[in-house]
Structure 1
C-alpha cells in the first residue's frame, strides 16, 4: 500500500518482559532519492543531550516489492537510505526501561513513550502529516491508551487504534501511556481535562479533580484564553519520585503513590499533596509559557544539538513563581502557607554561595551542562534559574504593581507576552520582557532589571515586600537537616550539611562552602557514622548538637566509598541564611494577592 501524503507509524509492545517496543514506519518515496532519518538528541523542556538513538535495535528497511534497502549510519543518531521505488518501510525495536517523564518504558504493568525517543524522523518529510497506530500487547484486554494526540475516525477515547498528528513535531509532542489506567475527567471553560494515573493509588478522585480544576481556571483566567481543545495530566506513581515535563496539550508527571489526598482525611492538606498540586500548576502554566511563548532560539527547535538561550530564568523562573502562588489564588491554601512555600524557595537560593557566583542568564545558558548535570559543588557554585528566577519574577511583579499604582502586575505582562508573542508564534528576546515592563511601569526600569539578570547579586526583595505589608528577614535554621526557620536569639546548632538517613548512617547530599561540615572535610556522598564516638541517626545528631558547646571540636567518623576516615567537627551557631517571609500588615498585603490581568 502506498502512503502519498503522510508518514505511517505503528508501535507494538513486542516483548514486555524484555522491555521492547516494535516500531514500523512507511513513507512514500521517489526512486533513486536518498532520505535522511534521525532521532532527536534531546526533547523540549529537558535541556540535556539524551542520545535517545542508543536504544534503537535492529533497524532494517525494505522497498514496496520487499527488496532489502541498505541503511548507512553517519553519526550516533542519523541513518541514510536510498529508495528504489515509491515506498520505503522500516522496522526496528526500541529498548524501553526508563520510567521517567522523558523517554520510554515497558513492562507487564504499563507502557509509556515519548515520540522523541521512539519515532525516527524523515528529514525531507518533517512537515508531512503522521498517522500512528498503537497496538495492544497480547492478552491485555483491560489495557487502555492515554494521549493528547488527535484520534482518527473510528478510534474511541482511551482505545488502541489510529491517531494523527499534523507533522513530526506534533507527533513527538504527544506522549503516550498504555496500561491499566485510572482515568477521570473534569471540564474548565468548556475544555475537558483528563487525569490519568498509570498505576493504582488511594487518592480522593473528586478532591483531585476539584483542586486541579481550580488551578486550571486560574491560569486560563490569567492568560485570557485556552490554546488547546483538551488537556491530559498523565502521572506515573512510584514508591518515591518527583518530576514533570510539559507539552502543548498534556504533561507527564511523576509522584509518590501517597502524595495524593487521603479520602479518609478530607480536611487534611499534606505537604506532599501541596507539592503535587504545585507540580500540576507548574506544568499546566507551561502550556502557555514555553510551549507557546518561547525564546527566539527555540523557534523552531533544533533537536539535533544543544540550543542555548539566556532566557530560561523567565520560562522556568516565572512559571515557578506562579506554581505556588496559584495555590493561594485558587483558594487551595491560605496566604500564610503560600509565604511559607516562598520562604523555602528563598532559603534554597540564599543557603549557598552559588547565586553570588553565577547570574541567572549564565545559569540559563549553561543549563545543558551545569544545571542538568549538577556536580557535588552545585549549591556553592551555580544558581538555579528556577528558584532565583522565581524571586526575580516576584521582584518584577511587585515593581510593576508599585510603579503602576496597582493598575498592572506580572499578570498583565504575561498576558501581553501571550498576545504579542505566544499567540502568533514569535520568539522572545530579553528586551521584550524589559520593554513591556517599562510600558506597564510608566518609566524605564531596564537598568535594575538587567542587573538582576546579568550580575550574581541578591534580589532586593525586603523593601518591595515591606510596601505590601510583608517582612523578609534572615533567621536561623530550625534544625540541622531542615530549611525551616526559627526566630530565636538562643544558640541553634549548625553544620551546613544536608543528609538522608540510611541503614549505615547519614548519607550527605549537600555541603555548604565554609560551613563546619566543609571545614571538617566532609563531602557529598560521604556516609557519616559517628560523632564524638556516638553512632549517629538524624535524631541523635540533632540531640548531640544541642548539647555540645558552640565551637567544641569532637571526633567525626565517616565512610568515603569503602574507606573509613576520621576528622574533627565543631557545631556553630546557625547563620541567618534561612529566610522567613510573613505578613505584617494584612490590609496592605491584600494589594499583592489579587489577579489583575
Structure 2
C-alpha cells in the first residue's frame, strides 16, 4: 500500500430468501447486495449462511486487513444486524463489540441481514484509509470494499463465498475477479475463501475502462472521475510502458492472468481521509484527489509501479502471518522490509533498468528517501521490530517502510551483487523464493533470513543480522561508494530560507496552504501567516504547488539576512466563504537547516565501481568494450564497424552495448509514392528489422567526414557516410548511397553512450554540405 479457480454458477439475482422460503443449506456463504436499494445512504447486506453445527456462534467484521497495518474497525459501520431461522423468525443476537456479534440458536440460522454505512461521507470519527474505504453514492458510484461489507462466521473463514450484486442497468463492476455470471442488471462472483474475498475490492459505476495486454495478462484500468478530468484511456497510455518494463523485469511473464487498477478520483472538497493506494493480489485501489490528469500522471505512475509489483510480494512470497491473517488481532510479520520496502525499491529500480528514468533521477530518488528517513524517523529502531509492531506502538514509524525499507532493498541488492560477483541480484533471489513458495505456501517468519543467506553468501546474512534485525544505520556511504555514487553529509547551518515548516496542499484550490500556525518558524510568524492562507506568490513569482519547494530553494539563494521579502496569500474572510488577496512582508530571518545528504554519480570511477554500477543499474545491457566507449572517436568507429561486413550474423551484443537504455533511432526515407517520411525505432527494433537483410547481404558503411560539437558531458556528432551492398559478400557493388548520421552522445558512468541517431540520405535536392565533407576524421585519440 502507499499512504496504498472459478466454476460457473446459475443464479436468479433478484431472489432474496424471505420468511417461509425453504433452502437447503450448503457449506458456502451466499451474499446478496442490491445497489438499487439505498436507504439513508446505506445498503442492506443479506447473507444465506452455511450450515452451522454450534448452538452459539460469533459473526465478525474485520478490525484490520493486510496492507493497511492499522486498526480500522469496519464493524462500526454495521447496524441492525439480525439473524433468521428457516421460518423467518428472529434469533437472539448480542453485539459484543465494534466488530463482533454473538448469535444464539445458531443451528437454526438460515440468514443474516444487516445495514452498512459508507466511510467516505460518514460523520463518525474513524481510522479507515480512503484507499480501503467504502462509498455509497446512489445511482452514481459504489465502492464495495469487501472488508467494509462482508463478514465471516467463527471457524468458517475457509468456506467458499458467493457474492451476488444487483446493479443499475448500464453499470459495470471493476474488480480483479472474473465474474461467473453477468447480466445487464447483475453480477456474480465466487472466491475460494474469506481471504480471497477480502483481497478483492469492487467498484460499480458507468464504465470508463481501458484494457492493456501485457505478456500473458490482461490489465484493466477503470476510472471514476466525477467531473471527467481523468480518463482511463489517458492513464492506460501512461501505464503501458511501465507495465512493459515490469514484464521485462520479471522475466517476460507475469504471475497473474488478470489485474485491475481501480481508480476513484474524489472531488477535492469532499476528501475525508488520507489519499493513496492499497494493494491486492490481482488489483489495486486508488483514492486520490481529482485534478488535471497531466498534472497527476507522474505521481500515479510511480504509485502504480509500487502497487503492481505486489503481484510478486506478498502474493507469491509471504509468511504464515500473511497467509493465515488474523482480521481481529494485529499479528504482523517481521518482514515489512520485503512486502513494502523491496516493493517500493523495485518500483523505482524497474524504471531505471528499463530506461524510463535516468541514473541521475534514480539516485536523486534514493537521496530523497535517505533524507526523509533520517530526518523523520528513528534510524536505530530494528526494522524487524518496527514491522512486527507497526499496528501498535510503532504505528508512527510505519511509513518509514517506504523510505528506509526501500533503502534496505537497494543496499541488499548491492550487497548480493557484490558478494556473489555479479552472479545474482535481489530480483534473482525474489524469483527463487517465488518458485520455492508461491501464493499457496507461506514461509516461516523466523527462517527467511537464513533462506536468503543460503542462496547468496554469508555476507548477506551478516547484513540482515546487523542492519535489518539489528539497531545499526544502513552502511549507505560504503555500499553506494562501491557503485561509484558519492554521498556527502551536509551539516545544517543557519541560512536564509523561505521554508516556514507549516505548508501543505489544498487540492480544491490547487494551492499550497498553511495547515497549522503551531508549526510556523520565526520567519513564518514574522510574515503573519494564518491557518488556511493560500500561497499565491513569493517575491512576485507565481507559485506552482507542484514546484513550490524548488522555487523556495531557488529564491533562497537570491536573498540575504535582513532583506525584505514578500508573500502574496489569499486569506479566508470572517464570513468563512470569501477570500481576499493580501501582501505580507517581513525581513528574512536566518533559519536552522536540517542535516541532509547529497548523492551524485562519480565522474571518475574505477573499473570495479563501473562494473558494479552497471550490474546494478543496467543489468540487461551487454558489457561494452572500453575501447569502443572510452572516447567519442571510439564509439563512432564502433558504430560503423559493428554493422559492416559480409552476409551473415552481426555482433548484436556489441551493437546494443553502445546505446544508453531508452535510446532512440530514426530514419528519413521516401515511401513508394516518393513522399518523404520519418520512421522511429529502438535499437532492438533496428536489430529485428535489419537482421534478415544482413543475413543475406553484404553491407559496408564507411565514414566520410565528421563534425563534433562537445559541451562537457554531451556531444552532437554530424557524420557523413557512404554505404554499399553486395549480394554475395564480395566487393562488387550492386547499390550505394551517401547520407548523414546525426548522433547525440552523453558521457555517463565513466563511458560514452549513444542516446539517439537520426539519419537522412543524400538526394539531388539534398546534397551533403561541402563544409561537412571537408571535415577530417580523427585517426585516434580520446576526444
Q: TM-score, normalised by structure 1?
A: 0.79
Give the superposition deviation at 1:185: 0.4
Give the superposition deviation at 1:212: 2.4
Distance in 2, Cα, partners of 1:255 & 1:447: 41
Q: What does the per-residue CA deviation read over 1:560-584, in whole Å, with 9 as the maximum and x for residues that have no partner? A: xxxxxxxx99524645514334353
- Residue of structure 2 in register with 1:111 after alignment: 142
Choose which of 413, 423, 426 in structure 1 pairs with 2:442: 426
- Residue of structure 2 in register with 1:450 after alignment: 465
Distance in 2, Cα, partners of 1:132 & 1:229: 21
**Corresponding pairs, count:** 538
Q: What does the per-residue CA deviation read over 1:119-142, in whole Å, with 9 as the maximum and x for residues that have no partner? A: 120224322221111112xxx433
- Residue of structure 1 in register with 2:260 after alignment: 232
- Residue of structure 1 in register with 2:374 after alignment: 350
- Residue of structure 1 in register with 2:43 after alignment: 21
Give the superposition deviation at 1:8: 0.6
**Does residue 244 of the first structure (1) align with residue 277 of the second (2)?**
yes
State the secondary structure of the residue aligned to 1:145.
Answer: strand
State the secondary structure of the residue aligned to 1:184.
Answer: strand
Query: Structure 2: which 5+ residue stretches go unaligned?
Result: 1-22, 122-129, 269-273, 540-551, 565-586, 622-783
Structure 1 residues 93 and 342, CA gap change in structure 2 (3 angstroms)? same
Cα RMSD of the aligned pairs, angstroms, is 3.8
Q: Determine if contact 1:211/1:332 at 8 Å carries over to the other structure.
A: no
Distance in 2, Cα, partners of 1:461 & 1:85: 61
Q: What does the per-residue CA deviation read over 1:530-560, in whole Å, with 9 as the maximum and x for residues that have no partner? A: 41779995836986896453999xxxxxxxx
Q: What does the per-residue CA deviation read over 1:422-474, in whole Å, with 9 as the maximum and x for residues that have no partner? A: 34512243542354245324x44323332111344432222322332322234
Q: What does the per-residue CA deviation read over 1:363-387, in whole Å, with 9 as the maximum and x for residues that have no partner? A: 2233113554x3xxx7xxx871221
Give the superposition deviation at 1:41: 0.8
Give the superposition deviation at 1:403: 1.8
Give the superposition deviation at 1:391: 0.8
- Structure 1 stretch 53-62 or stretch 431-440: which is displaced more? 431-440
Choose which of 169, 182, 194 in structure 2 pairs with 1:141: 169
- Residue of structure 2 in register with 1:176 after alignment: 202
Query: Structure 1: which 5+ residue stretches go unaligned?
Result: 263-269, 478-488, 510-521, 553-567
Structure 1 residues 363 and 498, CA gap change in structure 2 (3 angstroms)? farther
Structure 1 residues 317 and 363, CA gap change in structure 2 (3 angstroms)? same
State the secondary structure of the residue aligned to 1:21.
Answer: strand
Structure 1 residues 476 and 182, CA gap change in structure 2 (3 angstroms)? farther
Distance in 2, Cα, partners of 1:437 & 1:596: 24
**Does residue 471 of the first structure (1) align with residue 486 of the second (2)?**
yes
- Structure of higher CA gyration radius: 2
Structure 1 residues 92 and 491, CA gap change in structure 2 (3 angstroms)? closer
- Structure 1 stretch 495-504 or stretch 426-435: which is displaced more? 495-504
Give the superposition deviation at 1:106: 0.9
Map 1:20-169; keep pairs closer than 5 Å: 20-29=42-51, 33-83=55-105, 88-98=110-120, 100-108=130-138, 109-136=140-167, 140-152=168-180, 154-155=181-182, 160-169=186-195
- Residue of structure 1 in register with 2:213 after alignment: 187
- Residue of structure 2 in register with 1:409 after alignment: 425
Structure 1 residues 151 and 15, CA gap change in structure 2 (3 angstroms)? closer
Choose which of 369, 374, 392 in structure 1 pairs with 2:408: 392
Distance in 2, Cα, partners of 1:496 & 1:457: 32
Give the superposition deviation at 1:229: 2.7
Structure 1 residues 15 and 507, CA gap change in structure 2 (3 angstroms)? farther
**Does residue 584 of the first structure (1) align with residue 603 of the second (2)?**
yes
Give the superposition deviation at 1:27: 2.0
Give the superposition deviation at 1:168: 1.9
Structure 1 residues 422 and 433, CA gap change in structure 2 (3 angstroms)? farther
Q: What does the per-residue CA deviation read over 1:22-43, in whole Å, with 9 as the maximum and x for residues that have no partner? A: 1000124357733321111111
Give the superposition deviation at 1:76: 2.9
Structure 1 residues 84 and 321, CA gap change in structure 2 (3 angstroms)? closer
Q: Determine if contact 1:474/1:576 at 8 Å carries over to the other structure.
A: yes
- Structure 1 stretch 48-57 or stretch 212-221: which is displaced more? 212-221
- Residue of structure 2 in register with 1:322 after alignment: 346
Structure 1 residues 215 and 39, CA gap change in structure 2 (3 angstroms)? same
- Residue of structure 2 in register with 1:516 after alignment: none
Give the superposition deviation at 1:143: 2.1
Structure 1 residues 327 and 33, CA gap change in structure 2 (3 angstroms)? same
Structure 1 residues 49 and 277, CA gap change in structure 2 (3 angstroms)? same
Q: What does the per-residue CA deviation read over 1:225-281, in whole Å, with 9 as the maximum and x for residues that have no partner? A: 533331111011134574111111111112333363x4xxxxxxx6x4222111111
Q: Determine if contact 2:496/2:556 at 8 Å carries over to the other structure.
A: no
State the secondary structure of the residue aligned to 2:424.
Answer: coil
Q: Determine if contact 2:64/2:70 at 8 Å carries over to the other structure.
A: yes
- Residue of structure 2 in register with 1:368 after alignment: 391
Q: Determine if contact 1:145/1:160 at 8 Å carries over to the other structure.
A: no
Give the superposition deviation at 1:2: 2.4
- Structure 1 stretch 309-318 or stretch 452-461: which is displaced more? 452-461
Structure 1 residues 398 and 88, CA gap change in structure 2 (3 angstroms)? same
Distance in 2, Cα, partners of 1:526 & 1:90: 56
**Does residue 294 of the first structure (1) align with residue 294 of the second (2)?**
no
Distance in 1, Cα, partners of 2:358 & 2:441: 36
State the secondary structure of the residue aligned to 1:401.
Answer: helix
Distance in 2, Cα, partners of 1:345 & 1:313: 14
Q: TM-score, normalised by structure 2?
A: 0.62
Structure 1 residues 526 and 547, CA gap change in structure 2 (3 angstroms)? closer
Q: Determine if contact 1:468/1:585 at 8 Å carries over to the other structure.
A: no
State the secondary structure of the residue aligned to 1:355.
Answer: coil
- Residue of structure 2 in register with 1:208 after alignment: 235
Give the superposition deviation at 1:164: 1.2
Distance in 2, Cα, partners of 1:296 & 1:7: 25
Q: Determine if contact 1:505/1:529 at 8 Å carries over to the other structure.
A: no
State the secondary structure of the residue aligned to 1:351.
Answer: helix
Q: Determine if contact 1:17/1:107 at 8 Å carries over to the other structure.
A: no
Distance in 1, Cα, partners of 2:383 & 2:421: 28
**Does residue 331 of the first structure (1) align with residue 358 of the second (2)?**
no
State the secondary structure of the residue aligned to 1:101.
Answer: helix
Choose which of 510, 528, 531 in structure 1 pairs with 2:526: 531
**Does residue 199 of the first structure (1) align with residue 214 of the second (2)?**
no
**Does residue 436 of the first structure (1) align with residue 468 of the second (2)?**
no
Distance in 2, Cα, partners of 1:550 & 1:330: 49
Distance in 1, Cα, partners of 2:223 & 2:505: 30
Structure 1 residues 31 and 123, CA gap change in structure 2 (3 angstroms)? closer
Give the superposition deviation at 1:80: 2.4
- Residue of structure 2 in register with 1:513 after alignment: none
Q: What does the per-residue CA deviation read over 1:20-67, in whole Å, with 9 as the maximum and x for residues that have no partner? A: 111000124357733321111111111111111111111112111112
Q: What does the per-residue CA deviation read over 1:492-529, in whole Å, with 9 as the maximum and x for residues that have no partner? A: 548683523789996367xxxxxxxxxxxx84489986
Map 1:494-533; keep pairs closer than 5 Å: 497-500=501-504, 507=514, 523-524=518-519, 530-531=525-526
